[in-house]
């Protein structure tokens, strides 16, 4: 079955009732989402504070303790309701609780709807290293209600938009510029754009589920981004870190003559002209150390994904010793 076949678009939660009827359902729900939308989900709830600091083994154990207290058996369904932290944690717990239970996802942020909840990857952070421990485990379904994103903060919306643009830079030039035009005109992200991003990610993950080939392209910007997030103490959001990471990936590609000269500056200009916040990041040894600990490092080499153009990316293995703190100074691009 294609991952696309697991996607349910709509606004009525009864659309996934066939998965919940006649069984115990335990909703792992973000505290903020519970406040806004909790009444839509009449299930026994485990409310969590969805922060990167809590997306850890300790956070997973806390959820498991709650499941044990509630007598959750192997036939139960876990329902992850929230953003990417919640969907990651839910999938991880589902994959290890009693050697695996079924789960479904209700992503409520744009980032989770277009990226984090799609593809069956789960993860937790260890020693402040992002997503260094995880599993593969497909959900039974992913319910996407685009209406949820209307209550997102500007920062949360930006994070999702950057992930969408990342996906389009990888493989859909038309929708990259369509999304930018929509933002430049002051429009709101619509369901057509969300569906295009979800469809492209589904196609890639179907082809390479365990990430040994093409799926690695989805890491565009993420090798830098994960280092930036952890080195900033999670003060820079994932999406904003991805934006910086995409620009840095283009700069790296330019250095090795894989990316056309000037594309890094053009991408940064695109992001900012569309009203997106791309923070500057202060150089630090902590950032370089976090980069060295990236799970994609193989010996002395780190496998980066760099753009050849909008809609076309490729792999670029680079010696870890070639990346130092000064590389992250992008003032010359501003």
Q: Is the model's pLDDT at 334 over the cut of 60?
A: no
- What average pLDDT does the segment 311-320 reach? 91
Active-site residue flag, 255:
no
Q: Is the pTM of this model over 0.85?
A: yes
Cβ(81)–Cβ(41) under 8 Å? yes
**pLDDT of res. 296:** 61
pLDDT band at 107 (very low <50, low <70, confident <90, very high): very high
**pLDDT of res. 192:** 93
Active-site residue flag, 121:
yes
Of 158, 215, 240, 254, which residue is the catalytic one?
215
Active-site residue flag, 212:
no
Of 6, 130, 199, 238, which residue is the catalytic one?
238
Q: Is the model's pLDDT at 1 over the cut of 90?
A: no
Fold held by 3-150? Rossmann fold (3.40.50)
Instruction: Write out pLDDT tens, residues 146-168.
Output: 999 999 998 899 889 999 999 99
Active-site residue flag, 222:
yes
**pLDDT of res. 331:** 65
Cβ(204)–Cβ(198) under 8 Å? no
Domain chopping of the chain, boundaries:
3-150, 154-333
Active-site residue flag, 238:
yes
Alpha-carbon gap, residue 333 to 113, rounded angstroms: 31
Tokens linked to 243: 């934006």
Of 6, 45, 199, 226, which residue is the catalytic one?
226
Active-site residue flag, 295:
no
CATH code of the domain occupying 154-333 = 1.20.1090.10
Active-site residue flag, 301:
no
Q: Which of 190, 174, 171, 194 is nearest to 182 (CA)?
A: 190
**pLDDT of res. 223:** 85
**pLDDT of res. 129:** 83
pLDDT band at 326 (very low <50, low <70, confident <90, very high): low
């Amino acid at each position: 079955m294609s991952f696309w076949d697991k996607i349910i678009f709509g606004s009525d939660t009864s659309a996934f009732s066939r998965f919940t009827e006649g069984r115990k359902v335990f909703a792992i729900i973000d505290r903020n989402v519970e406040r806004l939308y909790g009444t839509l989900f009449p299930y026994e709830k485990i409310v969590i504070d969805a922060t990167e600091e809590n997306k850890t083994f300790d956070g997973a154990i806390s959820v498991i303790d709650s499941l044990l207290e509630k007598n959750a058996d192997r036939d139960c369904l876990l329902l992850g309701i929230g953003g990417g932290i919640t969907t990651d944690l839910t999938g991880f717990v589902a994959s290890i609780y009693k050697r695996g239970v079924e789960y479904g996802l209700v992503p409520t942020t744009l980032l989770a709807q277009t990226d984090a909840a799609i593809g069956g990857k789960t993860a937790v952070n260890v020693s402040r290293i992002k997503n260094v421990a995880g599993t593969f485990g497909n959900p039974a379904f992913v319910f996407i209600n685009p209406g949820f994103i209307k209550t997102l903060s500007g920062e949360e919306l930006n994070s999702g938009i950057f992930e969408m643009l990342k996906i389009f830079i990888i493989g859909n030039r038309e929708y990259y510029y369509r999304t930018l035009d929509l933002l430049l005109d002051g429009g709101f992200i619509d369901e057509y754009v969300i569906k295009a991003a979800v469809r492209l990610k589904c196609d890639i993950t179907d082809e390479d589920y365990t990430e040994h080939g093409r799926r690695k392209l989805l890491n565009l910007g993420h090798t830098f981004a994960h280092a930036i997030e952890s080195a900033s103490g999670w003060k820079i959001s994932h999406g904003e870190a991805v934006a910086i990471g995409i620009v840095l990936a283009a700069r790296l590609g330019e250095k090795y003559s894989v990316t056309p000269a000037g594309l890094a500056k053009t991408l940064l200009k695109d992001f900012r002209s569309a009203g997106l916040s791309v923070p500057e990041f202060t150089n630090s040894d902590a950032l370089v150390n976090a980069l060295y600990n990236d799970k994609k490092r193989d010996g002395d080499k780190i496998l980066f994904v760099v753009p050849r153009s909008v809609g076309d990316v490729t792999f670029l293995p680079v010696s870890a010793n070639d990346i130092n703190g000064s590389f992250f100074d992008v003032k010359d691009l501003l």
